[in-house]
A and B are shown apart, each in its own frame.
Chain A
Amino acid sequence: MTTYLIKRLGQGLLTVFLTVSTVFILIRLAPGDPAVAYAGPLATTEQLAKVRQQFGLDLPVLEQYWIFLQQLFTGNLGTSYSFQAPALQVVLERMPYTLTLATSAILVAAIVSIPLGVWMAKRTDTGKELGANILTIAGQSMPDFWTGIMLLTAFAVLIPVFPASGFATWGGLVLPTITIAILQVALISRMVRREMASNFAAPYLTVARSRGVSERTLTWRYAMGNSAIPVFTALGTRFAAMLNGVVVVEVVFAWPGVGSLIVRALETRDYPLIQATVLVTALLAVLVQLLIDLAYPLLDPRVRLGKAGSA
Chain B
Amino acid sequence: MTLTDQAAARRSSAAPLLHVEDLQIELITPNGIVRAVDGVSFSIGRGETVTIIGESGSGKSTTAMGVLQLLPPDLAVLSGHVSIAGRDVLSDRKAITSVRGRSIALIPQDPMTALSPVHSIGRQMTEAIRIAGAADSTQAARERAVLLLQQVHIPDPASQLKKYPHQLSGGMLQRVLIAIALASEPELLVADEPTSALDVTVQAGILDLLLELQEQRGIGILMITHDLGVARLVSDRIHVMKNGVFVESGDVRQIVDAPQQDYTRKLLAAVPTLGEWDETDSPTVPEAAGKDPRHV
* Chain A residues close to B by CB (< 8 Å): 202-213, 217, 221-222, 225-226, 228, 299-302
In this assembly, does B148 line the interface, its C-beta being within 8 Å of a C-beta of chain A?
A: no
Whether the pair A211, B118 counts as a contact (CB closer than 8 A) is no
Chain A residues with CB below 8 A from B127, complex form:
213, 217
Instruction: Decide if the interface of chain B is mainly helix, strand, loop or mixed.
Output: loop
Q: Which among B87-95, B102-110, B265-273 touches the partner chain?
A: B102-110
Given contacts A203-B110, A204-B113, A301-B164, contact A210 B100 (CB under 8 A): yes
Interface size on B, residues (CB 8 A): 33
Q: Which among B175-183, B211-219, B242-250, B254-262 touches the partner chain?
A: B175-183
Chain B residues with CB below 8 A from A207, complex form:
106, 108, 114-115, 177
Given contacts A204-B115, A206-B70, contact A211 B164 (CB under 8 A): no
**Complex Cα spacing A226 to B183, Å:** 24
Docked complex: B159-199 residues within 8 A CB-CB of A: 164, 166, 177, 180-181, 183-184, 190
Residue of A nearest to B72 (CB): A201
Residue of B nearest to A221 (CB): B119
Shortest CB–CB separation between residue A55 and chain B, in angstroms?
55
* Chain B residues close to A by CB (< 8 Å): 65, 68, 70, 97, 100-102, 105-106, 108-110, 113-120, 124, 127-128, 131-132, 164, 166, 177, 180-181, 183-184, 190
Most buried by B among A204, A213, A222, A226: A204
Whether the pair B180, A211 counts as a contact (CB closer than 8 A) is yes
**Complex Cα spacing A152 to B127, Å:** 51
Residue of B nearest to A222 (CB): B116
**Complex Cα spacing A229 to B102, Å:** 33
Whether the pair B105, A301 counts as a contact (CB closer than 8 A) is no
Whether the pair A202, B113 counts as a contact (CB closer than 8 A) is yes
Given contacts A203-B110, A301-B164, contact A211 B117 (CB under 8 A): no
**Complex Cα spacing A188 to B166, Å:** 29
**Complex Cα spacing A302 to B124, Å:** 16
Residue of A nearest to B100 (CB): A212
